[in-house]
Structure 1
């Protein structure tokens, strides 16, 4: 029991440290991406941390299996390097018994990953998509930042204002450049509006207008001398009505029960992917235990790179099989389970190869002694 607690503590502590580092790296990269979108006006800056919170379960469901795999390699590699495993082996600690003890922290991680992949991650993805739907319904004036040129997502309009009131109603020093399209979507040049000030007005029927005061409108084609200038005292522009959608279309945002009731092959692929993540935890544990065995003279990092490449091959093939299943290139009866079967066989081979090799070497030595 003492050895069991010691090994479990070593694995869980290393798992926590590795997962924390991986989470910081991945979250930092995603946060920079969302920050760039917020700077361009595609996202509300005030919702960045909320978005990261919604995406956190989706990150963790992929980080924890890798963290466990590296945790076993690093923790047991240190024990081999410091000859602690040699002492344990001398007291009867076989690879199979070591695997059995390692399955306890692996089961704990698998339960957490199952909770994340089957429940928490879909809920987070659902809230993330609803938040994006609300962001898409916002006009460029809702995310406008004073002193910065801001383009719509399709690039059809660029807006600039020098000043903006706290209630986002009154603007000062307004510039708007918009592409003019004909009924058949052909380019007819651009329209440029400049105004001393402007304001947003909401009528009783719910329509929103941008009212510009004391400005000019310029219409024409860039590079041609056919511009028309119009001076105005008041100019009104109808703004599109916000269209907030509560519909969730992404499969990763659907609940697991919804996927169970959906016969579509893409829904089945998503369901098998969610079930694959907890199963992946046990298989990578099976591979990590024999791969952690190192010679003290060779160093603890000798097998680390090949082990990581093996893990990445597992995950890459699994993702590719998921895409092929969604496109109907893999029979539904086969699903993703063949990938797990291949790497389960690899894990069993790694586990039993070294004892089998030592046993065969021992027999050869005995035969040589007998013949001598």
Structure 2
């Protein structure tokens, strides 16, 4: 029991450290993407933390299996390097018993991943979709930030305001630049500049929103040419475009697991098998990691780390590829993704039993040579 607690603690501590680092890296990259959209006026800055929070279960369900895989490799690799595993082996710790001990913390991780994959991640995706859909009701006026140039419509429109009232109803010191495209819709034809002392939002009966500018000028002309037109106005209306926020995920990822169970759609079956595959992935990578963590103290603990990561990437890539084939109907649902797990489970069992069998055969050969002499 003492050995079991010791091994479990080593694996879980290393798993936590590796998973935390991976989570920070992934969430930082995704947060930068959302932050860039907020800077362009595509997202309300106030919803960024909510989006990240709802997306976290989806990140964790893929990070935890990888964290467990690397945790076993690093933790057991250190034990082999410091000859602790040699001592345990001399005390009767077989590879099969080591695997059995390792499957206990793996079971905890698998239960957590199953909870994330089957319940929390779909709920989080659904909430993210609701937030992104709510952004479609916003206009450029709602996402303006004072003192910042904000790009809209793929960069063809830039808006700036010097001041903005607390209730976001009045603007001061407004500047708008908009490229007018040619008839083919590709090449810019001219640029229209609007400047005004102040502005306010006005909602029409059909729901369209306009920015009403007061006391300003409009300049129309081609870049690099002196021929331009200037118009002074007392009141001018500008149609406010809606932020174009792309869909974060597909509709299937947001469906509850119970809805997938009752569906006969191939895409829904593929999504269901994918959600079930992630907890199963935890057990298979545990069987793979235990023999791969076995290293010679003279070779160092990182010798097998790169081949092990490549094997894990091949496993995950094959699952994703077969998921696509299942969605397209090129793979029978009964076969689905299960054969991929069976293949890598067989690889793990071969790796687990190969080294003890090789050592046993070598010992027999040495014994025969000592008894009968070399052939």
For 1:186 and 1:43, the matched residues in 2 are separated by: 26
Q: String of CA shifts for 1:317-364, please: whole Å, max 9, x gaps.
A: 222222233233434333212221221111011011011111211221
* 1:110 Cα deviation from its structure 2 partner: 0.3
1:107 matched to which residue of 2?
107
2:43 matched to which residue of 1?
43
* Worse overlay, 121-130 or 42-51: 42-51
Secondary structure of 1:92 counterpart: coil
CA contact 1:110–1:282 (8 Å) conserved in 2 = yes
Matches within 5 A, 1:44-59: 44-59=44-59
For 2:28 and 2:157, the matched residues in 1 are separated by: 31
Q: String of CA shifts for 1:241-294, please: whole Å, max 9, x gaps.
A: 8999xxx95221211112222322222221111111101100000011111111
How many aligned positions are there?
Answer: 370
1:81 matched to which residue of 2?
81
* 1:119 Cα deviation from its structure 2 partner: 0.6
2:171 matched to which residue of 1?
171
Secondary structure of 1:233 counterpart: strand
For 2:225 and 2:118, the matched residues in 1 are separated by: 60
For 1:102 and 1:15, the matched residues in 2 are separated by: 12
CA contact 1:170–1:199 (8 Å) conserved in 2 = yes
* Worse overlay, 36-45 or 329-338: 329-338
Q: TM-score, normalised by structure 2?
A: 0.90
2:347 matched to which residue of 1?
346
Task: Evaluate the alpha carbon distance shift between residue 238 and residue 81 of structure 1 in structure 2; reply closer, same or farther with a 3 A threshold.
Answer: closer
1:61 matched to which residue of 2?
61
* 1:316 Cα deviation from its structure 2 partner: 1.7
Task: Evaluate the alpha carbon distance shift between residue 146 and residue 310 of structure 1 in structure 2; reply closer, same or farther with a 3 A threshold.
Answer: same
For 1:91 and 1:253, the matched residues in 2 are separated by: 51
1:96 matched to which residue of 2?
96
Q: String of CA shifts for 1:283-307, please: whole Å, max 9, x gaps.
A: 0000111111111222222212211
* 1:182 Cα deviation from its structure 2 partner: 8.8
Task: Evaluate the alpha carbon distance shift between residue 77 and residue 184 of structure 1 in structure 2; reply closer, same or farther with a 3 A threshold.
Answer: closer
CA contact 1:42–1:153 (8 Å) conserved in 2 = no
Secondary structure of 2:236 counterpart: strand
Matches within 5 A, 1:66-215: 66-180=66-180, 189-202=190-203, 208-215=209-216
Task: Evaluate the alpha carbon distance shift between residue 128 and residue 320 of structure 1 in structure 2; reply closer, same or farther with a 3 A threshold.
Answer: same
Secondary structure of 1:142 counterpart: helix
* 1:86 Cα deviation from its structure 2 partner: 1.4
1:296 matched to which residue of 2?
297
CA contact 1:144–1:150 (8 Å) conserved in 2 = yes
Task: Evaluate the alpha carbon distance shift between residue 298 and residue 88 of structure 1 in structure 2; reply closer, same or farther with a 3 A threshold.
Answer: same
Q: Which runs of 5+ in 1 are unaligned?
A: none
For 2:228 and 2:335, the matched residues in 1 are separated by: 65
Give the root-mean-square deviation of aligned CA atoms. 2.6
Secondary structure of 2:118 counterpart: helix
Secondary structure of 1:163 counterpart: strand
For 1:212 and 1:95, the matched residues in 2 are separated by: 77
Secondary structure of 2:171 counterpart: strand
Task: Evaluate the alpha carbon distance shift between residue 249 and residue 351 of structure 1 in structure 2; reply closer, same or farther with a 3 A threshold.
Answer: closer
For 1:25 and 1:149, the matched residues in 2 are separated by: 29
* Worse overlay, 121-130 or 82-91: 82-91
For 1:228 and 1:212, the matched residues in 2 are separated by: 18
Secondary structure of 2:237 counterpart: strand
* Worse overlay, 312-321 or 197-206: 197-206
* 1:220 Cα deviation from its structure 2 partner: 4.7
Matches within 5 A, 1:220-235: 220-222=221-223, 227-235=228-236
1:24 matched to which residue of 2?
24
Q: String of CA shifts for 1:162-189, please: whole Å, max 9, x gaps.
A: 2211211111121223344699968764
Q: TM-score, normalised by structure 1?
A: 0.91
Secondary structure of 2:33 counterpart: helix
Matched, 1:10 2:10: yes
For 2:150 and 2:241, the matched residues in 1 are separated by: 17
Task: Evaluate the alpha carbon distance shift between residue 243 and residue 320 of structure 1 in structure 2; reply closer, same or farther with a 3 A threshold.
Answer: closer
For 1:241 and 1:18, the matched residues in 2 are separated by: 41
* 1:120 Cα deviation from its structure 2 partner: 0.4
For 1:243 and 1:367, the matched residues in 2 are separated by: 77
